[in-house]
Amino acid sequence: MLNGQSLLPAIRDMRDLERFLSSDLELGVLLEIHMSRLESIFKLLGSHHKKVFIHMDLIQGMKADEYATEYICQTYKPFGIISTKGNVIVRAKQKGVVTVQRLFLIDSLSLEKSIRHIERSKPDYIEVLPGIVPKYIQRVHERTGIPVFAGGLIETAEEVNEALAAGASVITTSNRKLWSD
């Protein structure tokens, strides 16, 4: 769990944002947001006492690098930063922001390479995608000792429960039907 939540809504558009703002959930994840909307979105979030992770790799109109990360952290003060990039994770940690390094499980080589990157960047959390592979959620946590988020392709409450049972601390999902489960 993170801040008392075992599920983080992944917000892809304004309908998702509206649903998140009207929910009892305090913490979410911003995905695929255009940089021109960040200021108004953060004002809305603040007025509703909500906090978010920003997925740096998915901010439209902004390069996901350490300079953009520094700007986002200083200007908007997000709860956390999510990225696949080690340099983004390192800079966010320097700014005192919670970090999540995303890794995609494609094959055993991608797993090994991702573990090496994680050992260098030392994120606070790791997000494993797809989150429907409980064996690898457990394996990543055991190998790194870092708490794991599970995300991607999770469609049912049963899959949420399986990922949590495998050791995931939190589930990230854009499936609005699961946000209230």
Question: What are the pLDDT digits (tens) for 64-95?
Answer: 999 999 999 999 999 999 999 999 999 999 99
Q: What pTM was computed for the model?
A: 0.96
Confidence of residue 180 (pLDDT cuts 50, 70, 90): confident
Query: Domains of the chain, with CATH numbers?
Result: 7-178 (3.20.20.70)
The token duo for 53 is 């992770």
Do 77 and 94 meet the contact criterion of CB atoms below 8 Å apart? no
Average pLDDT of the residues of the chain = 96
Q: How far is residue 83 from each of residues 1, 43, 159, 177, 178, measured CA to CA in Å? A: 20, 23, 24, 25, 23
Burial profile 135-155: b = 16 or more Cβ within 10 angstroms, e = fewer: ebbbbbbeebebbbbbbbebe
User: Are residues 25 and 5 in contact, defined by beta-carbon separation less than 8 angstroms?
Assistant: yes
